Structure 1
Amino acid sequence: MRLVQLTIPTGAREKILETLDSEGVDYVVTDETSGREYTGVVYFPLPAPAVEPVLDALQEEGIEDDAYTVVVDAETVISRKFDALREEYENGDVEEDRISRQELRTHAEELTPTFSVYVTLTVVSALVATAGLLLDSPAVVVGSMVIAPLIGPALGASIGTVLDERELLVSGAKHQILGVVLAISSAAVMAWFVRVTNVVPPGMDIAAVDEIAERLAPDLLSLVIALGAGVAGILSISTGVSVALVGVMIAAALIPPAAAAGIAIAFGQPTAAIGSTVLVFVNVLSVNLAGLVTLWYAGYRPERLFDRAPTQKRVRRQIVGLALVVLVFSMFLGGITYGSYLTGSFEQNAREEVETTFDEEYPQFRVIDLEVTLDDDYPFRGPDRVVVTIAGPPDGSSSVIVEELHDRLRERINQHTDDTVVVELRFVNVVEG
């Protein structure tokens, strides 16, 4: 429920009150005694879905740009007219739960902090995310998402596009680009500093850190996060629900992969940064794409009637353009996903070959461990080495058998890959008694 306070310009009182009467709105009018160009202020309660159509109807009847309207939340309204109005507008469709176009624009502007605060929070969140990734700490990475101020620009650009608010669109787009650049560069600077000062162990393998490795070779599931964040973000802001948790979700799609890209650059592995950098950009585009589609489906349109047709064409073009770019990036992520599938299949086949070989031909030995090591060809990594550790009795014939076994395993494992994979066999003497 909303309580609307509307100033009445000189000469527009009769038209405004007639409009409210025709809409079935209950109102109260007070006279304006300040001597300005307004003759009074009208107060009236509205269900949330009725705010936009009623304000649009009033706009056509003389509400000038220099007048002002205040819309505030109302806890309780007791009125027969209000109950009838609520029954009229609350009909159970998608548009029922959404806030008005005017409120949506205000919320979008409020979500983006001032420039200095935005830059500071973005840099801080990137630094915290970098520390969390290097520490392999999911809790710290989540903390970095909480302070990231990315939800405002991400949603503002979509809202500006649909409502034909060019200033909001341009501001959102610029802030998003700036945020990505700041996050990657800040992470790179911090990672370089901790590396040269030996805050992290010398020769640290970033691919061995789980929190980093999963973002250096992202798969198609990462795309679901961004699309879900865009839909959830728009739904949360358009229904007046708190956007704090959704902001964390949007930050989850952007800040950690940006930090991973910066870390890879700082550690002298620019090819390793390709996957995470692509993930950042595809996530940004996906959030905007999901936001545009959700806003248009929710029924938001430009304020001016004559702007709706051109805006609709522009929104459609942007949706198609974004969808095509996201599709191209998705093919890239799909390639990484397929590579991961091949690697997983190879590891499973290698394990089955090893188990079969020992069960059928060398029962005197038992397998302790099997590890598949991947190459450094980011982001499409493949198997490079298979390390098999076995145990057996320390008799004199073991060395000959192990050499024969190594050749046998190498032959059987390499038949499951197009490239030659190094097979390393490690033997451990076991004395039982």
Structure 2
Amino acid sequence: MRLVQVFVPQDELDLVLETATAMGLDYAVTEETSRGEFEALVSVPVPPAAVEPFLSSLRTAGLDEDSYTVVTATETVVSNRTDELTGQFAGTRISREELQARAADLAPAASTYFILLVVSTAIATAGLLLDSAATIIGAMVVAPLMGPALAASVGVVVDDNGLATRGVGLQVAGLVVSVATAAAIGWTLRGTVLLPPGFDITTVPQITERITPNVLALFLALGSGVAGVVSLTRNVGSVLVGVAIAVALVPPAATAGLGIAWGHPMVVVTAGTLALVNLLSINLTALILLWVSGYRPDRSDRIQRAYGQLRSRIVVLLVAIGLLSVVLGGVTYGTYQTAAVEHDVKTELEAMSDDPAFGDLQFRESDVAYELVDVYTGGQPSVTVLVERPPGEREPSGFVDEVRERLEAATGVDLEMVVELVDTQRSG
């Protein structure tokens, strides 16, 4: 339930009471004795779904816009009359006015926002370098990224340009700050005793996950945007949803920063693309879902303008996501190709170990050097195979070429082949 309190200006008490009566709402009137411009305070208990119709009716009736209308959430209401009201005003979403106020509250002051963002990025960067998923998730609890993302979308659908501009500005600045923070930390730590000599960030699994993004990664961003709107409009689980949104944005941004520190352009491009696609996808789903949920400006003459802004932003977001998704698609295809070569090599070596044509030779291990960039630059996969043979046994003539031909036939690509033969004795 909500308690709507209207500070009634002079000579407008009848207007407020008639509006409440027409909607079948109960009310209590408190006479104002402060000798101010208000003659009374009217308190009206209503279900959440009735707040927006009641406030709209007051505006339509001509309530002075300079008056105060305060909406507060009630902890407990003890009355048999609430069931009737709840049945009369069905629905679960909050009012437009509450939505707007909550979105503004979720976007903190700039100083608070950037302090928390720097701290969360620093923790996430450490988690990436340590390959610690728990540390990365812990950092997301601190990240304040949910508010700006939702504030930007709410500002568009309710035609609040100030809120929309602030939300977009905080998101863009936040992404830049995250990348810069991670780059500064990476540059500071590189070459110190805190990291092993010759440390390569591309070999860390948590970082590899962000530099080889799959198109399926979009589901995290799209789902986070939907969950963010649901949590905002229904006031549930905002902390956990904020973590999901932060996971989609901070780790890839921090990875891009590490790519700058280590001088890896490919890391910057892939991780940066993932961060941008996630950011745009969250905003896209939030915009669409808020509009579909029925949120509009408070004045009918502004609805068309809000719809025009919404439509133009959706088009821009779709085009941007489509262009950036080309990179994600390329990474997805390249990652598939490299994984397919490794799988085919392993499968064929197992078949060759069982092939009588190779006698007692056993193909035990293989190392496939085939990177994502090789798929698009025409680089050949380099395969190193370890072959065990009984002592004194000689390999067949042309053995290396035969192994290469078998593996090339299995993988469908040309290979650079190295075969290491090891004389092996095994004790029973």
TM-score by length of 1: 0.93
- Aligned equivalents of 1:295 and 1:45: distance in 2? 26
SS of equivalent to 1:66: coil
Q: Deviations over 1:309-353 (max 9, x none)?
A: 221122122222212221222232112112222222222222232
Do 1:275 and 1:379's aligned partners in 2 also have CA atoms closer than 8 Å? Answer: no
Matched, 1:350 2:345: yes
Q: Aligned residue for 1:228?
A: 223
1:283 to 262, 278, 286: 278
Which residue is 1:22 aligned to?
22
- Cα distance in 2, alignment partners of residues 188 and 139 from structure 1: 21
Give the conservation status (yes or no) of the 8 Å contact 2:256–2:272: yes
Q: Which amino acid aligns with 2:88?
A: E
Tell me the alpha carbon deviations over residues 399-430 of structure 1, each in whole angstroms, 9 at most, x when there is no partner.
x44x7332222222234567643222233332
Give the aligned partner of residue 49 of structure 1.
49
Equivalent of 1:424, from 412, 418, 426?
A: 418
Q: Secondary structure at the match of 1:390?
A: strand
1:168: Cα distance to partner? 0.4
The secondary structure found in structure 1 opposite 2:34 is coil
CA contact under 8 A between 1:27 and 1:45: conserved in structure 2?
yes
Which structure 2 residue ranges, 5 or more long, are not aligned? none
CA distance 1:113–1:378, change in 2 (3 Å) = farther
Q: Is the 8 A contact 2:344 2:411 kept in 1?
A: no
1:423 is paired with a residue whose SS is strand
The question of whether the paired residues in 2 share the 8 Å contact of 1:272 and 1:378 is answered with no
Q: Which residue of 2 aligns with 1:140?
A: 135
* Alpha-carbon distance in 2 for matches of 1:418, 1:101: 59
2:383 aligned with 1:386: yes
Q: 1:123-161 deviations in whole A, cap 9, x for unaligned?
A: 111111111111111111111111101001011000000
Question: What's the Cα RMSD here?
Answer: 2.0
Alpha-carbon distance between aligned partners in 2 of 1:57 and 1:351, rounded to the nearest angstrom: 71
Aligned AA for 2:420? R
Q: Deviation per CA, 1:170-221, whole angstroms, max 9, x where unpaired?
A: 0000000011000001001101111033421121121211000111121111
What letter corresponds to residue 188 of structure 2 in structure 1? Answer: F
Q: What amino acid is the match of 1:195?
A: R
Given that 1:372 and 1:383 are in contact with CA atoms closer than 8 Å, whether structure 2 keeps it comes out as: no
Whether contact under 8 Å (1:236, 1:242) holds in the other structure is yes
Match for 1:422: what amino acid? E
Cα distance in 2 for residues equivalent to 1:418 and 1:157: 49
Give the match's secondary structure for 2:354.
Answer: helix
2:196 is aligned to 201
- Structure 1 pair 376–76 and aligned structure 2 pair: CA distance change class (3 A): closer
Q: Which residue of 2 aligns with 1:178?
A: 173
Task: Say if 1:5 and 1:44, in contact at 8 Å, map to a contact too.
Answer: yes
**Paired residue for 1:270, among 265, 288, 305?**
265
Amino acid at match of 1:371: D
Does the CA-based 8 Å contact 1:105-1:159 persist in structure 2? yes
Q: What secondary structure, in the 3-state scheme, does the structure 1 residue paired with 2:263 have?
A: coil
SS in 1 for 2:417: strand
For 1:298, the equivalent position in structure 2 comes to 293
Q: Check 1:253–1:379 CA distance in 2 against 1; reply closer, same or farther (3 A cut).
A: farther
Residues 1:16 and 1:378: Cα distance change in structure 2 (over 3 Å): farther
2:360 maps to which residue? 364
Q: Tell whether the 8 Å contact from 2:128 to 2:207 is kept in structure 1 after alignment.
A: yes
How far has the Cα of 1:375 moved from its partner? 2.7
User: SS where residue 333 of structure 1 aligns?
Assistant: helix
Distance in structure 2 (CA, Å) of the matches to 1:363 and 1:297: 69
Tell me by how many angstroms 1:237 deviates.
0.7
User: Which has the higher mean CA deviation after the structures are superposed, 235-244 or 406-415?
Assistant: 406-415
Q: Distance in 2 between matches of 1:143 and 1:64?
A: 48
Map of 1:13 onto structure 2 = 13
Counterpart code for 1:70: V
Look up the SS of the partner of 2:236 in the other structure. Answer: coil
Q: C-alpha distance in 2, partners of 1:29/1:260?
A: 59
Confirm whether residue 258 of structure 1 aligns to residue 253 of structure 2: yes
State which of 101, 107, 110 in structure 2 corresponds to 1:115: 110
The whole-number CA distance in structure 2 between the counterparts of 1:127 and 1:363 is 57
Contact 2:338 2:372 in 1 (8 A): no
Q: Does 1:163 align with 2:161?
A: no
C-alpha distance in structure 2 between counterparts of 1:351 and 1:200, whole Å? 33
Tell me the distance in 2 between the aligned counterparts of 1:306 and 1:81.
Answer: 36
Measured after TM superposition, the shift of residue 378 of structure 1 is: 8.4
Give 1:377's aligned amino acid: V
> Amino acid of the residue matched to residue 207 of structure 2?
I
Alpha-carbon distance in structure 1 between the residues aligned to 2:33 and 2:380: 82
Aligned partner of 1:93 in structure 2 is none
Matched residue type, 1:390: V
Letter in structure 1 aligned against 2:181:
S
2-structure distance, mates of 1:341, 1:319 = 31
Shift of 1:379: 9.7
Pairing partner for 2:214 from 206, 212, 219: 219
Q: Secondary structure at the match of 1:200?
A: coil
Report deviation, 1:89.
Answer: 1.6
Give the Cα separation in 1 of the matches to 2:136 and 2:380. 29
- The secondary structure found in structure 2 opposite 1:291 is helix
For the structure 1 residues 119 and 379, does the alpha-carbon distance in structure 2 shift closer, same or farther, using more than 3 Å as the test? farther
The count of residues paired between Structure 1 and Structure 2 equals 425
- How many Å separate the matches in 2 of 1:219 and 1:378? 18
Residues 61-70 or 294-303, more deviating: 61-70
- Distance in 1 (CA, whole Å) between partners of 2:374 and 2:36 is 68
Which whole-Å CA distance do the structure 2 matches of 1:383 and 1:248 have between them? 41
